[in-house]
Every structure is written in C-alpha cells, then in structure tokens.
Structure 1
C-alpha cells in the first residue's frame, strides 16, 4: 500500500524574500549613489536565482506513506520516518526553525524517536493524520487553530 500526499503551496515566503532582497539591494544602490548597470544585472541574476530555487522547491516537494514508512522529499532534503516511532502530531501549526520539507503554513509537526521533529505541509492535514493513525493509532494528536 502506498499513498501520495500533495504539498500545500503558499507563496508568502517567496513574496517576503523577494521584497526583502529588493529593498536591501535598492538600499545599497541608494547609499552608494553611483548608478551602475552591472548592479542592476546582479539584481536580475539574484531574482532569477531565487525564482528558480522557489520553483524547484514547489515542484520537488512530496510526501508518501509506503507500508509503515513515511517518506518526504523537498529539493535536497529527503528522508524516511518509521511511522511506529511517531509519538505526537501537532496539526495546524507552523514550525519556524528546524527541518522543514514544506511549502506552506499551518501544516503538521511530526515528533518521532525521542527528540526528533519535522514540519510538513500536506494539502489536507486531516487526510494525512487519518492515514498515519491507521498505521499507528497510539499517536497523540494536538490540534491548533490555524493562523492566517
């Protein structure tokens, strides 16, 4: 048995990163007060790099349950977690620091082994939780009201 879960896609990080990089680069250009065509070419290159990075992140992220294993992949970050070692799920919350093979907010934080945790953002949290609980019904569930 194998079940694939699509990731939730949230473009907020792209908007924030683009805005911050643009503000920083324009600020640097304003402080230096020297109009330079090479500078604007560098800005274009940086934007192209970030856009390609975000595109690859959105197209490579996937989650799959195969037997008793949960497999995740996001660009260069991938791994497998034994579902029987998962002891807690926090649903509707976002992990801001740590391992995050995710493309959206208000996903699921998976606590496994003794101290390990990972954040994922399946398109439908409830379907994902239901599929995990079919394999390991002893998992503690903590629901949070999603923030906007």
Structure 2
C-alpha cells in the first residue's frame, strides 16, 4: 500500500491561522477564556482534518477518505485549479475521472509518483497535465 499526503497551499495555512487565532488572542485579552478554548478546539480539529487527508493506493483500489475507487475504472486524469470543495488542500489539483460520470479533485504532494503508480496498475488512463 502506498500513501500520498495532500499538498498544502501556504496561503490556506495563513488564512486559517488568522481566522482562528484572532478570537483565541481576543478571548485571552478580554478574559473570555471559553471563547479562546472553543476556537482552540476548532483549530485543533481543523489540524486533525488536514492530517487525515491522504490518498492510498491499496492493490487495485484508490482510497480517498471513505471513498474507494477501482483504479481500473479510472478513465482520465487532468490538471485543474478548480476551487470546488474536495479532499485537497491546494488549488494545484488533479481531477480523477472514473466510471461514467464520476470525478474527484485531489492534490497529491508527489503528483508524478502518484500518477506513475496509477499507470502501473491501469496503463489505459489518459493523462493530461
């Protein structure tokens, strides 16, 4: 089984840090400790979510969180910067098209290695980067 982590954009980290740290600091300064605690908890949950975004190639299956995709059903992989919600922490994404109309946007850190691994299993995947 090969595991690939999601690429993370630096600007995303800054936005999340600013959005959540301001209420934490404000809560401490105004002695509203419950506010600080709640936002620190949310920030911790966001961190856990970031750590859990992985793409696993296990045999002939691609696992993305709870979704399992048969690698032999993958038709095409292409580069995209689509901002739609997806299990990707970067806008430097690839779209994986599988079955007849299904598509998922992901952002593996080692993109070339990830695609090469998929091509070893299914050499019929059309790649447009």
Q: Judge same fold: TM > 0.5, yes or no.
A: yes
TM-superposed deviation, 1:41? 4.9
**What is the DSSP-based 3-state SS (H/G/I as helix, E as strand, rest coil) of the residue aligned with 1:81?**
strand
Cα RMSD, aligned residues only: 2.5
1:128 lines up with 2:127 in the alignment: no
Gaps of 5+ in 1: 26-35, 144-148
Other-structure match for 2:73? 85
Report if the CA contact (8 A) 1:107-1:125 is conserved. no
The structure with the larger Rg is: 1
**What is the DSSP-based 3-state SS (H/G/I as helix, E as strand, rest coil) of the residue aligned with 1:55?**
helix
1:51 lines up with 2:43 in the alignment: yes
Large movers: runs of 4+ above 3 Å: 17-23
Gaps of 5+ in 2: 24-29
CA deviation vs aligned residue, 1:30-51 (integer Å, no higher than 9, x gap): xxxxxx754x853x24531442
Report if the CA contact (8 A) 1:18-1:47 is conserved. no
